[in-house]
Structure 1
Amino acid sequence: MSKTLSNKSNLQVLYEDNHLIIVNKRAGDIVQGDKTGDTPLSDVVKDYIKDKYNKPGNVYLGVVHRLDRPTTGVVMFAKTSKALPRLNKLFVDRKADKTYWALVKNVPEKQADTLTHWLRKNPKNNKSTAFPNKSPDSKKAILHYQVLKQLDNYVLVEVSLETGRHHQIRVQLASIGSPIKGDLKYGFNRSNPDGSISLHARYLKFTHPVSNHVIDVTAALPKDPVWDACLES
């Protein structure tokens, strides 16, 4: 997978204060360490903080939420143990508004819609299956989407989630015949050159749990001709 992974010198910091840090994740970054043994984004952020503030010893960093490895966009971490449970609660209580952009194949039948499925995760192949009705071991998944722009070969869709299920956006969009560009696992016919899928956590808005200020961040799109076309008037 040819890609530019995040390191402490190229980290795209979108917002930072004493309690939290928000970054723009690159495709291929893993948010938290896993069995691959690859350096996770959390370690990269720790190195950044250690260098920037000349901190001795270990740097505390809490993982608030995650993005799939081939996706890009907004990821938030807690810088203190006091902030972590408060930030986690924002996401559990659905008080953090996350908005995603996806490039998909095939125009959805409706310009805007709410999708409701029951998803079942298969740990063996790390894949979810969508069902129209409740089935054993399935969890309800709800998302809202709207078509923002039709390009020559793809469609730009904006998505907001009501639930946070495994591969939810990927499997739900694929289930209506609009798989995400590059997502071989859910039915797209070819991979992206860098191994990414064209799903980007574009916006994050929430009320800061300590200062009570509204934080609103936008993550720049990956450098790519198709993404660039989404911003052209």
Structure 2
Amino acid sequence: MLVVEKPVNVPVQEDASGDEDLLSILKNDIKERYNKPGNVYLGLVHRLDRPVGGVMVFAKTSKAASRLSDQIRRNAMEKYYLAISRGSMDSPKARLKDYLVKDRKKNEVYVVGKDHRRGKEAELEYEVKQEESGMCLLEIDLYTGRPHQIRVQLAHQGAPIYGDQKYGGKVNHPGQQIALWSHRLVLSHPVKKEDMTFESMPPDQYPWNVWPEYTNRDM
């Protein structure tokens, strides 16, 4: 495995922007660091949206990729996020279950009814950790990994994520960095079968530093 902290605003893999992507950066680093000839294998087993930072795991072998992907399919890999929402949540802790459809042309996701033929189940649990200045700091346990899921489900609750232009344009402004962070991964090592936990803290920047105990002051 290779576990890294993804920088914000770096695409996970090559996209239409042509900007340098994390997968290519890591492959080049492995090639140079270990003086590897030819192409370097690095398996992408999960994704983060481009503006989101935090902890990610990659697979160094196809066998590891298969086993890590299987953990994700079985919801055996626990994925926790920190997010800052605009406004209050209805409950200090709750499980949200919605059905989502993605418009690929617009790259937008919508909440639809349970009976929608293209709707895919999306589920997460959130807990309000702190609340101040019209914002909530949330810890989110993500059960399913739908595109833009956390952003859409929180916006649907009337509490869009700080800085999210796509799903919270009425309360957010251009230039604000989205306050969503991949905080913790709990998984089983694909070979040793040992339970492992990896954590990453958001940078010591606004709005994260409203709650400095939840930030990485070295960033």
Note the 1:6-85 alignment, pairs <5 A: 20-85=1-66
Q: How far, CA to CA, are the matches of 1:178 and 1:30 in structure 2?
A: 25
What is the CA distance between 1:151 and its match in structure 2? 2.6
Q: How far, CA to CA, are the matches of 2:101 and 2:61 in structure 1?
A: 34
What is the CA distance between 1:231 and its match in structure 2? 3.3
Query: Cα deviations across residues 113-141 of structure 1 (Å, max 9, x unaligned)?
Result: 11111111111211111135332311111
Aligned equivalent of 1:155: 136
Report % sequence identity: 39
Gaps of 5+ in 2: 215-219
What is the CA distance between 1:153 and its match in structure 2? 3.8
Aligned equivalent of 1:206: 187
The question of whether the paired residues in 2 share the 8 Å contact of 1:130 and 1:175 is answered with: yes
The question of whether the paired residues in 2 share the 8 Å contact of 1:115 and 1:143 is answered with: yes
What is the CA distance between 1:184 and its match in structure 2? 1.3
What secondary structure, in the 3-state scheme, does the structure 2 residue paired with 1:186 have? coil
Question: 171-180 or 223-232, which moves further after superposition?
Answer: 223-232
Question: 180-189 or 93-102, which moves further after superposition?
Answer: 180-189
Aligned equivalent of 1:146: 127
Q: How far, CA to CA, are the matches of 2:202 and 2:174 in structure 1?
A: 15
Query: Cα deviations across residues 79-101 of structure 1 (Å, max 9, x unaligned)?
Result: 11221111111111111100001
> Is 1:177 matched up with 2:158?
yes
What is the CA distance between 1:192 and its match in structure 2? 6.2
Q: TM-score, normalised by structure 2?
A: 0.91
Opposite residue 230 of structure 1, the aligned amino acid is W
CA-based RMSD: 1.6
Q: How far, CA to CA, are the matches of 2:83 and 2:206 in structure 1?
A: 14
Q: How far, CA to CA, are the matches of 1:102 and 1:192 in structure 2?
A: 18
- For these two proteins, the number of residue pairs brought into alignment is 213
Find runs of 4+ consecutive structure 1 residues off by over 2 angstroms: 131-134, 188-193, 228-233
Aligned counterpart in structure 2 of residue 167 of structure 1, from 140, 148, 159: 148
1:171–1:103 distance in 2 versus 1, CA, 3 Å? same
Opposite residue 212 of structure 2, the aligned amino acid is L
Aligned counterpart in structure 2 of residue 103 of structure 1, from 84, 95, 107: 84
> Is 1:227 matched up with 2:205?
no
The question of whether the paired residues in 2 share the 8 Å contact of 1:151 and 1:230 is answered with: no
Aligned counterpart in structure 2 of residue 218 of structure 1, from 186, 192, 199: 199
Aligned equivalent of 1:130: 111
Aligned counterpart in structure 2 of residue 115 of structure 1, from 88, 96, 103: 96
1:112–1:231 distance in 2 versus 1, CA, 3 Å? same
Opposite residue 51 of structure 1, the aligned amino acid is E
Q: How far, CA to CA, are the matches of 1:223 and 1:51 in structure 2?
A: 31
The question of whether the paired residues in 1 share the 8 Å contact of 2:204 and 2:212 is answered with: no
The question of whether the paired residues in 2 share the 8 Å contact of 1:116 and 1:132 is answered with: no
The question of whether the paired residues in 2 share the 8 Å contact of 1:134 and 1:140 is answered with: no
Q: How far, CA to CA, are the matches of 2:41 and 2:189 in structure 1?
A: 19
Gaps of 5+ in 1: 1-19
